[in-house]
């Protein structure tokens, strides 16, 4: 490891952040004493990050599609109360949002069941006219954040439209942040995921992947191989999350480790990586260097894993 100067982008001029993805209704254990009793909430990797970013003071807008049912309207109200702007959330008549259920083992690790095949979010860029309207709105933003889960939602046609837009967006000075967040169950074939990620990584400025996910996706040997791969894609700023082992930053002479905060009583790891991303990006938006930003990300994640659920109260300052 090295302590040489960092290779980082200038995010000081970023004003608005556009976040693309899906939020679903969430059923999770009410308590460890009552595992069969479920509570209703909501969550989704990019929405989780959007909420923690908004709590940190960022101007965040969420781009997704939901239904026009009671639960969809309830979710939108909750996002707005959290500070997330919802002007660009599409409500589709006669539809309902996706649903997932979380079971958590004694070590705080999660397993998921999903009901999302007919989620309106999957069709956000499917219709040419609607896609063009959304891209016109997104073009006004300084930073766009999305994830591999976002990409797994869309058809080949929708992915091509999104890729063309992001290419133009970056050519005109916009920045793209991306968390790989590879989830095999979201992809019909690993080879398709590899192809999609490869194409989209070439339009990413800030990568926030988890080592375990990317190793599984690209059959990599270690973190060095991942940094080499993302370097080949010309990603400018790379932060690789390693769970309890902390994260790695790219610096001029190699890689720099930033240790995680030790948590003795991990209750639920849901949303830990998403909150880290928000902590990292919010610090970078405030002009902090990479190490300080990574420490801020760890501080967010350490609070999240001590509570149940993806979106929980944490101390920002």
Q: Work out the burial of residue 208: count CB atoms within 10 Å of its CB; fewer than 13 is exposed, 13-18 middle, 19 or more buried.
A: buried
pLDDT digits (tens, 9 = 90+) for 78-103: 999 999 999 999 999 999 999 988 77
CB 197 within 8 A of CB 217: yes
Least confident among 1-10, 154-163, 234-243, 291-300:
1-10
Confidence class of residue 1 from pLDDT cuts 50, 70 and 90?
Answer: very low
* Residue 239, beta-bridge partner list: 249
**Catalytic site includes residue 213:** no
Return the axis-axis angle of helices 290-304 and 272-285, rounded to nearest 10°: 150
pLDDT digits (tens, 9 = 90+) for 22-51: 999 988 765 556 656 678 899 999 999 999
Confidence class of residue 2 from pLDDT cuts 50, 70 and 90?
Answer: very low
Least confident among 16-20, 41-45, 60-64, 192-196:
41-45
Annotated catalytic residue, options 45, 205, 213, 274: 274
Q: Which pLDDT does position 4 carry in this prediction?
A: 44
CB 6 within 8 A of CB 249: yes
Q: What percent of the chain has pLDDT over 70?
A: 93
Most confidently predicted of 108-117, 203-212, 253-262, 303-312: 203-212
Please give, one letter per residue, the 3-state secondary structure of the chain: CCCCCECCCCCCCCCEEEEECCCEEEEEEEECCEEEEEEEEEECHHHHHHHHHHHCCCEEEEECEEECCHHHHHHHHHHHHCCCECCCCEEECCCCCCEEEEEECCCCCEEEEEECCCCHHHHCCCCHHHHHHHHHHHCCCCEEEEEHHHHHCCCHHHHHHHHHHHHHHHHCCCEEEEECCCCHHHCCCHHHHHHHHHHHHCCCCEECCEHHHHHHHHCCCCHHHHHHHHHHCCCCEEEEECHHHCEEEEECCEEEEECCCCCCCCCCCCCHHHHHHHHHHHHHHCCCCHHHHHHHHHHHHHHHCCCCCCCCCCCCC
pLDDT digits (tens, 9 = 90+) for 136-171: 999 999 999 999 999 999 999 999 999 999 999 999
* pLDDT exceeds cutoff 90 at 216: yes
Least confident among 33-47, 56-70, 207-221, 279-293:
33-47
Q: Which pLDDT does position 139 carry in this prediction?
A: 98
Instruction: Tell me the mean pLDDT in the region 216-227.
Output: 96
């Amino acid at each position: 490891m090295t302590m040489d100067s960092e290779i980082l982008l200038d995010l000081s001029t970023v004003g608005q952040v556009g976040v693309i993805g899906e939020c679903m209704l969430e059923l999770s254990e009410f308590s460890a004493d009552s595992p069969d009793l479920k509570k209703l909430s909501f969550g989704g990797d990019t929405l989780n990050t959007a909420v923690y970013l908004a709590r940190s003071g960022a101007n965040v807008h969420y781009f997704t599609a939901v239904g026009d049912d009671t639960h969809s309207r309830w979710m939108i109200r909750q996002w707005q109360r959290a500070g997330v702007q919802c002007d660009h959330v599409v409500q589709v008549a006669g539809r309902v949002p996706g649903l997932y259920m979380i079971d958590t083992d004694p070590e705080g690790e999660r397993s998921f069941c999903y009901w999302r095949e007919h989620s309106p979010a999957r069709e956000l860029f499917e219709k040419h006219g609607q896609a063009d309207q959304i891209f016109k709105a997104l073009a006004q933003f300084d930073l766009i954040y999305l994830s591999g889960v976002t990409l797994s939602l869309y058809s080949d046609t929708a992915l091509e439209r999104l890729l063309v837009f992001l290419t133009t967006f970056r050519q005109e000075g916009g920045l793209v942040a991306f968390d790989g967040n590879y989830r095999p169950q979201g992809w019909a074939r690993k080879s398709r995921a590899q192809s999609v990620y490869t194409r989209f990584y070439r339009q990413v400025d800030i990568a926030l992947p988890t080592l375990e996910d990317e190793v599984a996706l690209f059959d990599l040997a270690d973190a060095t191989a991942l940094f080499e791969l993302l370097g080949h894609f010309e990603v400018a700023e790379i932060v690789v999350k390693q769970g309890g082992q902390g994260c790695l930053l790219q610096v001029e002479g190699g890689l720099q480790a930033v240790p995680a905060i030790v948590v003795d009583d991990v209750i639920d790891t849901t949303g830990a990586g998403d909150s880290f991303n928000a902590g990292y990006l919010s610090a970078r938006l405030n002009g902090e260097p990479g190490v300080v930003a990574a420490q801020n990300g760890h501080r967010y994640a350490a609070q999240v894993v001590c509570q149940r659920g993806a979106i929980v109260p944490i101390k920002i300052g």
